[in-house]
Chain A
Amino acid sequence: MVEHMAEMIIPEDGTPGAKTAGVAEFIDFMVANRVPVSASRDIRSTEDAIQSGNQAQASFILGLGWMNARCHAEFGSNFMDCAPDQQNSLLEELAYKEKFKPTTETGREFFRMMRDYTVVGYYTTKIGLESLGYPGLRTSWPKMPGCTHPDDPEHAHLREPKISNLPALRSAG
């Protein structure tokens, strides 16, 4: 279910999605080891870290249960047994402000957390960073290239290119 939702959040399009990038394994690892990625509280001690981690783990597990319960109430089956458009409409209710419904706060909270874990899990893999074209994958540059349009300092005339499905830069090790 985590793997499926992660892929719904970051699907394979031109570049691999969350599933190929191993995001579900990452989330399992982080939740099991109680490492929050969306905690806003200050960590001042190991005790704080433990509390914050326990809270993240509990909310995550609670959230998974909430998703299934909601699917049962709305569509009569667990999340994974729902049709793709049903799954999609539930996530939309949790993701978009204008589609929010009352009494779904727990679900929205869970979705935020799930999305944070997914985005962190995806963009901290080589696959995810390549999909962005993260320049730091290359660890040696002869010099810093800098801006290539100094003749247009305000950058008012750039053409928005069609985003290529190929990574812009490849890792040089």
Chain B
Amino acid sequence: MTAKIYDAIVVGTGAGGGTAMKILCEAGLQVCAINSGPRTNPATDYRRHRQVYDLKYRGYGDPMRLKGKPHQEPYSVEESEYSEGRDLFEHDVAYSNAPGTDWYWKRCKGTGGKANFWGRSSARFGDIDFKAADLDGFGENWPVDYAEIAPWFSKAERYMGVASTIQNRPSNPDGEYLPPIPWRCLDYIIQKGAEKIGVPYLPDRCAQLTVAHNGHLACHYCGNCSRGCDVGSFFSPTWFAIPEAEATNNLTLLTNAVVRSVLVDESGMAKGVAYVDRTTRKEVEIYAKVVVLAASCVETAHIMLNSNSRHWPTGIANSSGQLGRNLCDHLYGNPGYGYLPQLLGQPATPDNIADSTVTWMPRWQNLKNPHEEKFIRGYAIYMGGGCGEFPGHYGQIEGFGAKYKREIKRYYPTSVGALIQAPALSSPNNYVDIDPEQKDIFGIPQLRFHYQWGANELLMWEHSKQVMIDLFKAMGGEMWGADAEPNRPGTSLHEVGVCRMGSDPKTSVTNKWAQAHDVPNLYICDASIFPTITDKTTTMPIVAFAMRTCDHVVENFKKGIHKRT
């Protein structure tokens, strides 16, 4: 009996893998999708309108919950007491940090991945990003430009549903949008202040369904988004791509299957993958004509680096030596927070019911002249605040008693804070490789991070702190403080670069179709192909590039470049 050979294997079921399996299945290909953890079930795994008082530890979680796990670090923001006991997050597979590196690798192993809980900011990249090297001389351009990608951004936006407005800023290209999320009081106040200091304050591009879209319900503003949407009112593979792929009957979905490596045939081409069954700990091989990796950036590089053979002694498709290199992340941190005295004592306002980046300050630096600032390129800031789930400002008020309680309520609508999203430049010192000594509990050699923030992004961080001082002054706010240090690398979950695309096979891992230069039946559908990180987030572009790549895969099947089984 011969083993089944699929047309395509898709490793990973998040934003990239989910999109890939949908497109390949809808084109009639037989697809096997592999997910490292269990099936995510919205009816049990999400917040489901529970309130914090429904939780035993009121959101702090059982301190012993990860006892005995190989990786015991809790993942702030994404992982919460609402999903406690649901085994959605990766704590079985450990990773290493080289000395001096403090990478925070937060992994969701349930189907749909981190896109179950993502932040939904969905701006288009522009030529200021794709051709940045032409402008400032650093690094290399992308192998594609805006004109080539714009139709795919449109496709992704039409598919996902993105709420925003037309803003006419070439650095921040406009797309096809649903009605925007209305502004809160604090947004109007901040906008007026930002205007005075010459900083744009605009509706974000937010993948949240302000109206019903493609058969998905409009948002009901429960504010549970980052703990999972109970009805699918924002794009997630759990509500969109996975059921759509399943509806074709062309999908085989394997869960709890940890992919170890890509298998190659006698000519070094991909012929399938080897995975470890999480429950039996047995290694299994499956075969396909085409392999699509979408395991979430660094994990894709991990699998490829572990795919060493006589053809590929340093990892599959690594003749360039660039596999695992060029790791870039968004520097995150709060460069300034405080309150708006204008709103003191106002009744509570529903500021957080969309749980979204309603607005942002898209990159405004170095637009006219790429060397206007001390740093090159530019960053964005998201502002938020107002009445949230907890009066986090309580620590700013002295005292106790009835007056204290009144003051907590009086300040409730007033607090505002910022989040900087600053792109790191690539550096030869920032990369991932395989730890030569450590293996995880499945016997798979562990991934090791080497990463430091560079001077350019740290200059942006300092710059943003001054901007916040100026902004608070301009908008009549009072500042309480700013983070002393930026967040740990990895916090943003936006890492890119480790399988970068490019025109030259000597300096890049894939071509502009995200097809490995060395192994033409190996494709990548996650952010690892992005050569640079921008001031924008990665998810919508991941979906757009995955759509484009998979259309190319389908074309190649039609042309007979890949042969069906």
Residues of A whose CB lies within 8 Å of any CB of B are 8-11, 13, 17, 26, 30, 33-35, 37, 43-47, 49-50, 52-53, 91-92, 95-97, 115-116, 119-121, 123-126, 129, 131-141, 143-150, 153-156, 158, 160-161, 163-164, 168-169
Contacts and interface: CB of A to CB of B under 8 A. Distances in A.
Given A8-B400, A35-B57, A126-B51, A136 B192 contact: no
B509 to A, nearest CB: 32
Nearest to B57: A35
Given A156-B342, A158-B346, A132 B401 contact: no
Contacts of B192: 153-154
B347 A53 contact: no
Contact of B347 (A11, A123, A139, A168): A168
Nearest to B475: A154
Interface string B443-466: 000000000000000000000000
A139 B49 contact: yes
A153 B405 CA distance: 29
Given A124-B58, A169-B348, A155 B63 contact: no
Interface residues of B, number: 68
Given A33-B63, A124-B58, A149 B409 contact: no
Contacts, number: 184
Contact of B53 (A37, A126, A139): A126
B181 A144 contact: yes
Given A8-B400, A134-B389, A50 B63 contact: yes
5 contacts: A53-B63, A132-B348, A134-B348, A136-B350, A147-B188
A155 B66 CA distance: 47
Contact of B350 (A8, A17, A141): A141
Which of A137, A145, A164 has the most C-beta atoms of chain B within 10 angstroms of its own C-beta?
A: A145
A156 B429 CA distance: 50
A160 B188 contact: no
B321 interface: no
Given A124-B53, A141-B353, 4 more contacts: A43-B74, A46-B68, A95-B400, A147-B182
Nearest to B187: A147
Interface string B396-424: 00111110111011101000000000000
B189 interface: yes
Contacts of A141: 220-221, 350, 353
Contacts of B49: 139
B52 interface: yes
B244 interface: no
Which of B51, B398, B405 has the most C-beta atoms of chain A within 10 angstroms of its own C-beta?
A: B405
Contacts of B143: none
B189 A91 contact: no
Which of A96, A115, A124, A156 has the most C-beta atoms of chain B within 10 angstroms of its own C-beta?
A: A124
B345 interface: yes
A132 B387 contact: yes
Interface string B214-255: 000000111110000000000000000000000000000000
Q: Please classify the interface of chain B as helix (H, G, I), strand (E, B), loop, or mixed, using the class held by over half of its residues.
A: loop
B559 interface: no
Contact of A160 (B53, B72, B220, B344): B344
A144 B400 contact: no
Contact of A155 (B188, B221, B409): B188
Interface in B161-211: 181-185, 187-189, 191-192, 210
A123 B391 CA distance: 7
B476 interface: yes
A119 B58 CA distance: 12
A163 B395 CA distance: 21
B234 to A, nearest CB: 14
A155 B476 CA distance: 10
Interface string B468-508: 00000001100000000000000000000000000000000
A132 B408 contact: yes
A28 to B, nearest CB: 13
A45 B71 CA distance: 8
Given A45-B72, A124-B58, A158-B342, A147 B183 contact: yes
Interface of B: 49, 51-53, 57-60, 62-64, 66-69, 72-74, 181-185, 187-189, 191-192, 210, 220-224, 340, 342-354, 387, 389-391, 394-395, 398-402, 404-406, 408-410, 412, 475-476
B58 A26 contact: yes
B60 A35 contact: yes
Nearest to A160: B345
Contact of B221 (A119, A143, A163): A143
A136 B352 contact: yes
A17 B408 CA distance: 13
A144 B189 contact: no
Nearest to A38: B395
Given A146-B183, A160-B345, A139 B222 contact: yes
A154 B350 contact: no
Contacts of B221: 140-141, 143-144
B346 A160 contact: yes
Contacts of A140: 220-222
Contacts of B184: 146-147
Given A147-B187, A154-B476, A9 B343 contact: no
A156 B73 CA distance: 46
A116 B394 CA distance: 9
A135 B348 contact: yes
B354 A132 contact: no
A45 B63 CA distance: 10
Nearest to A11: B402
Contacts of B350: 135-136, 138, 141, 144-145
A157 to B, nearest CB: 9
Nearest to B69: A46
Contact of A30 (B60, B390, B409): B60
A136 to B, nearest CB: 5
A125 B54 CA distance: 9
Q: Which 9 pairs between the two chains have the least Cβ-Cβ distance? A: A146-B182, A133-B348, A135-B350, A160-B345, A141-B221, A49-B63, A153-B188, A124-B58, A155-B342
Contacts of A158: 342-343, 346
Given A139-B49, A153-B189, A95 B399 contact: yes
Contacts of B395: 116
A163 B400 contact: no
A156 B224 CA distance: 32
A124 B63 contact: no
